[in-house]
Amino acid sequence: MQHLVNSIQHALTRDIPLPFSVYTSVKEQVLRNVPIAKPLFIMVLSGSKTLGPKDKITCPFGEFIFLPASSSINMRNIPANSNYLALLIEFEHADFDGLQVNAVSENDHYIGRACPTLNHCLHQFVEASLWASPTILSLRKRELLTLLAELGHGEILGLLATPRLTDQIHDMFIAAEQFELTNQQICSALAMSESTLRRKLKLEASSVQEIKDNARLGLALHLLQTTRLPMGAISEKCGYQSPSRFTDRFKRHFGLTPSALRKTQLI
């Protein structure tokens, strides 16, 4: 396990985009309504994590949790000894193409125990992130999924559903400059009318504005957890013209201010 942690820490010193994220804190973090935009693998490397209402799901040190794309979930990151540390790998639906799904799972998560073989595979993935192309990294993700299935965690594959319209529009907002995207632009890209767009999103219990808000706040949470960017810069990157409005929206959604979250990362 320490070998994996060392490789992660080394990768983080490189000023390059990485196909994984690392969340860490020295104080407990309590977050409401965390959006899960894409299938997500989380390995807890120090401390523990609880999820869901009343912390019904517990993922301690040395275990991993796999979450399918969903609207949102409550989370609590709990340090042990000195810190909380977790490795997060986000998957595209294309990463699962061609993988055999034996049955669709009725669960909304999967928890498993790490082993030396899995740790070694994760270590190789982290090291490959320093040189590999996006195509190779996608293959590495498929390798990781295949290994998990062979290790007896095949239920992970059953958590996947057909990508939602919500997921497609979320990706469009992330790619848009300053999250500026009109309904007309969305409809043109998806080749559908506005009435069809609204009807299909209603079936997914969503709306364009809700997707936009979740995309902006999800990016803000990610930047707060993984960078030391000033609050003003994060606010601007997430399409908020007013830092105070950003702070208000962030607190209303997650249950704490951006400054309070950042303080959990400071000794």
CATH of the domain at 246: 1.10.10.60
Q: Of the residues 159, 177, 207, which one is the last residue of a structural domain? A: 159
Q: pLDDT at residue 106 above 80?
A: no
What is the mean predicted confidence (pLDDT) over 201-223?
93
Q: Of the residues 129, 159, 189, which one is the last residue of a structural domain? A: 159
d(CA 260, CA 159): 34
Q: In the prediction, which pLDDT does 259 show?
A: 95
Say if CB 254 and CB 31 are below 8 A apart: yes
d(CA 207, CA 217): 15
d(CA 205, CA 237): 27
Residue-wise pLDDT for 47-76, tens only, equals: 999 999 887 899 999 999 999 887 689 999
Average pLDDT of the chain is 91
Q: How many domains does the chain have?
A: 2
Alpha helices in the chain, H assignment, sequence order: 2-12, 116-128, 134-148, 165-175, 183-190, 194-203, 208-226, 231-237, 243-254, 258-263
Q: In the prediction, which pLDDT does 102 show?
A: 66
Domain range enclosing 252: 165-263
What residues pair up with 80 in beta bridges, in sequence order?
83
Question: Helix or strand or coil: residue 78?
Answer: strand
| Token duo for residue 24 | 């860490």
Specify whether 83 is located in the same domain as 214.
no
Q: In the prediction, which pLDDT does 91 show?
A: 92
Residue-wise pLDDT for 135-171, tens only, equals: 999 999 999 999 999 999 988 988 876 678 998 899 9
CA 13 to chain centroid, in Å, comes to 21
Backbone angles phi, psi at 210, to 5 degrees: -65, -40
Q: Of the residues 104, 136, 159, which one is the last residue of a structural domain? A: 159
Specify whether 149 is located in the same domain as 218.
no
CATH number at residue 67: 2.60.120.810
d(CA 58, CA 152): 20
Place of tokens 């209603």: 202
Specify whether 194 is located in the same domain as 219.
yes
Residue-wise pLDDT for 223-247, tens only, equals: 999 999 999 999 999 999 899 999 9
Nearest alpha carbon to residue 197 among 175, 174, 181, 180: 181
Q: pLDDT at residue 105 above 80?
A: no
107 pLDDT tier (thresholds 50, 70, 90): confident
Specify whether 173 is located in the same domain as 152.
no
Q: In the prediction, which pLDDT does 1 show?
A: 84
Specify whether 236 is located in the same domain as 119.
no
Specify whether 80 is located in the same domain as 144.
yes
Torsional sign, CA 147, 150, 155, 160: positive
Could you give the C-alpha distances from 109 to 58, 82, 102, 186, in angstroms and in order?
11, 28, 17, 31
C-alpha torsion angle, residues 15, 20, 25, 29 (rounded to 10):
140
Tell me which of 70 and 22 has the higher pLDDT: 22
Specify whether 237 is located in the same domain as 142.
no
